[in-house]
Structure formats: C-alpha cells, structure tokens
C-alpha cells in the first residue's frame, strides 16, 4: 500500500492528476481489508490537492474517490468549502461531495454556505442539504426565515417529498418572490393533505403566470376533489386567462377530470371564434383524454361546425386523436366519426395530411366497416396517401383486404387510377 501512496505522491508533485486519481482508486478498492487511519488521511490530503488544482474533469473523477475515504475526508472538505479565497469550482465540488456524508457538522457547514455565499454556491449547498432528506428539514426551515436564502431553501425542501416539509412550505406560499411561491406550490401539490387544496384554489388568482399555471396543474390531477370543490367552475375561468400557457394548462386539467361538465367547458372554448389555434389544438387533445362518448361527439360537432371555416391543423388534430382512441367501448364511435368524415364533402378531406391521418386512424381502430372507404382511397393522386391506406388495410385484416383487392383489380370497369393504386398495394403486399 505504501508503494501506491508513494506513486500517488509523485503524481501529485508532477500535478499528474489523472495518475493520482488512479492510485487513490487502488487505495480505496484494495480488497476487503479496511485501511489504516494514517493511510486514509494521507490519501485525503492528496485528493484535496487534486480537488484544488486539477481541472474540471480531474475534480469530477476525484469526487468519486472521496466517499470511499471515510469520515476523515469531512474536515478537509469543509475547509475547502469555507475558503472564501478559493475558486468557486473546487468549493462547488466540495459541497457536492459532502452530500455523501450525512453528519451534523456537514449540515452546519452547508447551512452557513447557503447564508453567506454567492448564488451558485448557495444553490449547490441547498441542493445538497435537500439530498439529506429528513435530517436537513429543520435546518432548511430555518433558512426560510432569511430572504436571501429563502429561494434556495424552498427548492431544497421541494426535493424532500416528506410530509414534514408541509408546515415550512406553507409559510412561504404567499412569499413576495414568484420563484418561491412556485416552488412551494409545486412541492405541496405532491401531498394529499387537507391543508393544501385551499392554497391551490387561492393560487389560481395569483398575479404571476407561473403560479397560476402550477396551481392549475396541481388541481388537474386531483379529480377526486371535483365534487367537493366544483373544479370545473374553478378552472373554467382560467381557459380565458390573459396568458396562453395558463389557458393550455387549464384545458389539460379539465381533460383529466374526465367528466361531461369538463368536456362541455372545453367544447365551448373550442368553438369560440377568439380561441387561438394553439389553444384549439390543446383543447382537442384534452377532449380526447376525457375518454367519454360525449367528448368524442363534441369533436365530431367541431368538425361539422368548421365545414365552412376549416383550419386544417385543428381538423387534423381531431382526426389524429380519434384514431388513437383505445377505450374499447369508444372505438366504434371513433371509427364511425372518421368514416363519416371520409365519406363527406368536408373540405378538410382535401388535405393530404388529413387523408393520411384518416387512413392510419381507421387502420388502428380496426373497424372492418372502413374497408371499402380505405380501398377507395387507394385511387388517390398522392402516393403517400396510397401507402398509408395500404398499411391501414393490413391492420384491418390482411387476408380479407387482400382477397378483396385481388378481386377488384380484375374488374375492367374500375377507374384507372384506383386500379393502379390497388395493383401497387398488392405488389407491395407481395414484396413484404
């Protein structure tokens, strides 16, 4: 072992930090026998040199060695941490490494760093405290009392998903800093506690966009509170928020409630002439997440309503989400809506992208009633549409579809383009 340490010392003298790291790795992985204290202390001193004088990669590698050197590494690391004349990077690494040592003196040193350092060091110190979990809650709660450290302490408490963090987090939900309020609400939203819903409801009226958005998200995953809080009426005004991102979050939240009342609110938003396209698309997705027949009917009505004012992006999104319906009891309805659209004179059906989505959706839904409609699309002028139809036909029923295609291609009266499309489909079928 002495030979390895001698090699390590030589490497340190030469500032060959990669070699030093390699030597210290050998010291800490030398069989199952614990190393003598003086050996570990010598190894720590050498590791500290690499931490202080190496480059970023050297520090990254030596950081992996320190936890294996035991508690004798704590005091030297704290010394690096507290050296205000040192560069930021080794102090940052020291804070990170100390996260492996859940000891009172470490917690105290990190608390001091949060209070007295620049933003970067305060942040890593707080994050390290958060990694300690329950043992650091009291210290972090005390840091909430100081405005300078409140942001970092709140973020660190948010890492600790334990009920003990609820009381301190509740003290900062009305903080003057937006970032503190957001972090607190996000953390609190992960708990099922009677003290939290009133906070979320109040936050819906917060002047900060980020806070309102987080409150909306948190309430959207609490469908069980719908009857108690009337979540639809609480969230509905946020569909018309001044900020688009809040409106989108409200649409998603209502979709997660999976109720007809929520779907009705979304349908109203979808049809309103002032609703921007981005929000319309998010609303279409939210309706599909509702997974109710009423929601699908609303999507169908939207297609009908848009027949004279078609937005291809919105229509395509409706077609796409209908084709992804997985709930068995809704598949027939979704397939019927898509088939009706394909058979109609709806201007949206003229768009290549929508025709492709129609083909894919009908194939995935697996409704054999779509067989004739898909075959007719093989006569489309666009080759990509024909390819999508071929793929969809295979999903429906490869054998039955192929038999029908083989029968049709023999008919002399068949429209030439359709006959060509069928022939190409059969050829592609044979090649695969």
Confidence grade of residue 183 (pLDDT, cut at 50, 70, 90): very high
What is the band of 344 on the pLDDT scale with cuts at 50, 70, 90?
confident
Please tell me the distance from the alpha carbon of residue 415 to that of residue 329, in angstroms, as a whole number. Answer: 37
pLDDT above 90 (res 348): no
pLDDT tier for residue 429 given thresholds of 50, 70 and 90: low
Q: What is the pLDDT of residue 411?
A: 67
pLDDT value at 427 more than 90: no
**Average of pLDDT values for 70-97?**
92
C-alpha distances in angstroms, 54 versus 20, 176, 257? Answer: 11, 41, 55
Residue 329: partners with Cβ closer than 8 Å, 6 or more residues away: none
Helix, coil or strand: residue 57: helix
**Averaged over 41-50, what is the pLDDT?**
91
Confidence of residue 430 (pLDDT cuts 50, 70, 90): low
pLDDT at 34 over 70: no
What are the structural domains, with CATH classification, of the chain?
291-432 (1.25.10.10)
Specify whether the CB–CB gap between 339 and 362 falls below 8 A. Answer: yes
Residue 200 has, within 13 A of its CA and on its CB side, a CA count of 27
Q: Where does the pLDDT of residue 213 fall: very low under 50, low under 70, confident under 90, or very high at 90 and above?
A: very high
Task: Calculate the dihedral angle through the C-alpha atoms of 148, 149, 154, 155, rounding to the nearest 10 degrees.
Answer: 100
Residues 110 and 106: their CA atoms lie apart, in Å, by 6
Name the least confident of 52-61, 175-184, 418-427: 418-427
pTM for this entry: 0.80
Percent of the chain with pLDDT over 70: 91
pLDDT value, residue 432 = 56
């Amino acid at each position: 072992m002495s030979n390895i340490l001698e090699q390590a010392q030589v490497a340190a003298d030469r500032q060959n930090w990669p070699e030093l790291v390699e030597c210290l790795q050998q010291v800490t992985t030398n069989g199952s026998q614990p190393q003598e204290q003086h050996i570990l202390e010598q190894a720590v001193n050498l590791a500290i040199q690499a931490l202080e004088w190496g480059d970023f990669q050297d520090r990254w590698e030596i950081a992996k060695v320190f936890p294996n050197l035991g508690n004798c590494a704590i005091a030297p690391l704290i010394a690096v941490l507290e050296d205000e004349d040192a560069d930021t990077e080794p102090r940052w690494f020291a804070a990170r490494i100390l996260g492996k040592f859940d000891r009172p003196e470490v917690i105290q040193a990190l608390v001091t760093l949060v209070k007295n350092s620049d933003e970067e060091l305060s942040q890593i110190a707080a994050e390290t405290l958060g990694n300690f979990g329950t043992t650091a809650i009291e210290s972090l709660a005390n840091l909430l009392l100081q405005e300078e450290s409140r942001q970092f302490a709140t973020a660190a408490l948010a890492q600790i998903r334990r009920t003990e963090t609820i009381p301190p987090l509740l003290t900062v939900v009305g903080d003057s800093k937006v970032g503190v309020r957001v972090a607190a609400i996000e953390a609190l939203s992960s708990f099922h506690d009677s003290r939290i819903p009133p906070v979320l409801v109040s936050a819906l009226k917060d002047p900060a966009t980020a806070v309102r958005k987080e409150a909306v998200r948190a309430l959207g995953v609490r469908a069980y509170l719908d009857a108690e809080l009337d979540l639809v009426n609480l969230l509905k005004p946020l569909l018309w928020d001044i900020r688009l991102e809040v409106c989108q979050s409200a649409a998603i939240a209502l979709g997660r409630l999976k109720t007809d009342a929520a779907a009705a609110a979304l349908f109203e938003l979808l049809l309103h002439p002032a609703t921007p396209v981005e929000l319309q698309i998010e609303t279409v997705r939210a309706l599909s997440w509702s997974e109710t027949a009423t929601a699908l009917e609303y999507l169908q009505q939207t297609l009908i309503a848009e027949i004279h004012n078609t937005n291809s992006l919105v229509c395509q999104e409706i077609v796409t989400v209908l084709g992804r319906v997985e709930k068995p009891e809704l598949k027939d309805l979704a397939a019927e809506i898509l088939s009706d659209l394909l058979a109609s004179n709806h201007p949206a059906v003229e768009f290549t992208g929508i025709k492709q989505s129609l083909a894919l959706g009908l194939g995935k839904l697996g409704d054999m009633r779509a067989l004739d409609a898909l075959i007719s699309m093989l006569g489309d002028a666009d080759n990509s549409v024909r390819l999508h139809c071929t793929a969809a036909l295979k999903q429906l029923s490869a054998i039955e579809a192929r038999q029908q295609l083989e029968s049709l291609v023999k008919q002399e009266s068949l429209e030439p383009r359709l006959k060509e499309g069928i022939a190409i489909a059969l050829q592609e079928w044979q090649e695969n």
